[in-house]
Each structure stands twice: as C-alpha cells, then as structure tokens.
Amino acid sequence: MWIDTHCHLNLPEFDTDRDEVRRRAEEEGVDAAILVGIDLETSRRAVQLAGRDPWFTPTVGVHPHDANSMDAETVATLAELAGSAAAIGETGLDYFRMHSPQDSQRQAFRAQVDLARQLEKPLIIHCREAREDLLAILKEIGGEHRGVMHCFSGDVEFALSCLRLGLHISFAGPVTYPKSDVLREVVPEVPEDRILLETDCPFLAPQPVRGRRNEPAYVRFTGEKVAHLRGVTPEEIARVTSQNARDLFRIPDPKETV
C-alpha cells in the first residue's frame, strides 16, 4: 500500500537488524522502499542490497556533506553504478551544516544534475538553507527537471518554484511535528500527481515515535498526517503516492508483473 521513497537502510545503523526492519515494514503495508546512496560506499551498498531483494530500489549519489570528495573519477563511478539505479542522488546543497564548502557543493550538485540528464534518470534533491542557489543552478541548466525535492521543508512559495521546474515534492516526518505549521500549509497545495512520501530513516522519526531510530514501517504516520491535511483517506493518499513513486522511479507494480 505505501512506498517509502527515501530510506537509508544501506547505512551501518541497520547492519544488525536490517531483515527485521524490512519485515516490520512489509507488515505495515510498505510495498517497496527506495534505498538512497549518500556517497560511493553507500551507493554501492544500495545497488548490492537491491540486487538480492527487489523490495528495494537503489539510487546512487553523493550528498552535499561529502561534496568535497567529488572528482571526475567519482562521477565516472557513479555513472557506472547508475546502470542498476533508479535515480541520481541524494545530491543538492546544505548551507546549514556546511560539511563541505559552498563552492564544492555547487560543483558536485551541477555534476549530478548533468549526469541525471545524460542518463535520463530522476534526481533526488536535498536542500537546506540554500534554496536560492539551488533554484538558480536548476534554472541555469534549464528544461524540465525530473525528480524530487526530498524531505521538503520550505514554504508554499518554494514548493511552487520546485513544482514549476518539474519536480515532485516528498513529505517526511517533520510534517507531523508540532512546530511545522508553515510546512503543513504546503501539503494541500501540491498537485495529486506530484506528491510523494518518505521516512529519510534512520533520521527524523514522525511525532508518534519521535526520538527513536526511524524505519520504513513508520511511513504511515506521515501518510496519515498528509491524508488528513488534504482531506482524503489514508488509503487514498497511499494509492496516489505509491502510483507517483512507481511512475517517477519506474518501480514495477507486482500486480502487473504476475
């Protein structure tokens, strides 16, 4: 019923109980999960895990935190790995934590947007306190961008800018937090065919389980909140967001492959 479009079960945080975490997710009706790479190692791991288990769909990318590790060789390796991946990312800009200098973040982002274009793959974009530069780069590269603004955390104006560029908007745990009123205003504004759900686990567990290690089984807490804010049933939001995820990331529908 649900699809978690952004999880990091490829991180060592899940090395001891990955199978149990996956089983719990299936019990909660999570039909598929996108395993997101944040550097070469976790991208390789995503491809490996998905190779053994089609419940996972892998992506490959270098997170803005690691942007200064990005050189021509990294791009070549990403391109190679991308043959088995559904998307490029997560990439983007993060001027909040600033683990890499702004300049190398912008370069690494641009390189991955170009790669996604070349390979005709969607992008998974992270943006924190860098919306102007991020929009400027996407506009400069031009054309329609296929992909998602993951763990969306801006206001309606920023959401509309992302939508105009062609991007989907994905909501994660923060939409359930008491202080997220500005974010909640965005939820009803996203067209039905552009909305996605995710956990971003192990980070950002939704309010009912806040403080715990997050996992794909908890995507329903975010889904239920989003459904409520849009005035539809959880079943309806699950159906719509799963269809969008299947279309954007080309995840096969098990009902159609039987």
Residues that bind Zn ion (CB under 5 A): 200
Q: Which is nearer to Zn ion, 198 or 236 (CB)?
A: 198
Q: Which of 30, 48, 32 lies closest to 40 in space, CA to CA? A: 48
> Prior bond to 101 cis, omega within 30?
no
Q: Which of 34, 26, 14, 107 lies closest to 66 in space, CA to CA? A: 107
Q: Which is nearer to Zn ion, 31 or 200 (CB)?
A: 200
Closest residue (Cβ) to Zn ion? 200
In angstroms, give the least distance from the CB of 255 to Zn ion: 29
Q: Cβ(200)–Cβ(172) under 8 Å?
A: yes
In angstroms, give the least distance from the CB of 61 to Zn ion: 10
Bridge partners (DSSP) of residue 4 are 33
Q: Which is nearer to Zn ion, 177 or 239 (CB)?
A: 177
In angstroms, give the least distance from the CB of 150 to Zn ion: 6
Distance, CA of 66 to CA of 138 (rounded, Å) = 20
Q: Which is nearer to Zn ion, 98 or 156 (CB)?
A: 98
Q: Which is nearer to Zn ion, 26 or 39 (CB)?
A: 39
In angstroms, give the least distance from the CB of 204 to Zn ion: 9
3-state secondary structure of 170: strand
Q: Where do the H-state alpha helices sit in the chain?
A: 18-27, 40-52, 72-81, 102-119, 131-141, 156-164, 181-186, 219-230, 234-249, 254-257
Sheet-wide strand order for 147-149? 2-7, 30-35, 56-60, 87-94, 123-128, 147-149, 168-171, 195-197
Q: Which is nearer to Zn ion, 66 or 200 (CB)?
A: 200
Q: Which of 129, 159, 162, 158 lies closest to 145 in space, CA to CA? A: 162
In angstroms, give the least distance from the CB of 219 to Zn ion: 14
3-state secondary structure of 169: strand
In angstroms, give the least distance from the CB of 248 to Zn ion: 16
Q: Which is nearer to Zn ion, 160 or 177 (CB)?
A: 177
In angstroms, give the least distance from the CB of 8 to Zn ion: 6
